[in-house]
Amino acid sequence: MNDTIVQEVRDIRAAIAAEFGYDRTKLIAWAREQTKQRKALGDTRPNKKLETAGGAVVSPVARKRRARVVRASV
């Protein structure tokens, strides 16, 4: 079974690898340099917070823990 999305991701990954001559060291160095440049310019993307209807910030894990029923063994 051919999944078009998976194939597209594989094609893009192959193109990126070819661009850096299949050298991971070059790819990682490029990525680190891009990160440095973005930080030097001041990354202005806003931090998104998790919001609920009540306005309180509660993680999904905390909500799940609260919802568990504790059973006592007899």
pLDDT 10s digits, 49-58: 555 555 556 6
pLDDT band at 18 (very low <50, low <70, confident <90, very high): very high
Instruction: Please state, in angstroms and as integers, the Cα–Cα distance from residue 32 to each residue in 12, 26, 42, 59, 68, following that order.
Output: 20, 10, 15, 30, 43
pLDDT band at 42 (very low <50, low <70, confident <90, very high): confident
Least confident residue range of 2-11, 15-24, 27-36, 41-50: 41-50
Q: What is the pLDDT of residue 39?
A: 84
For residue 57, give both structure tokens.
């910030």
Q: What is the pLDDT of residue 65?
A: 61
Verdict on whether the full-model pTM lies above 0.85: no
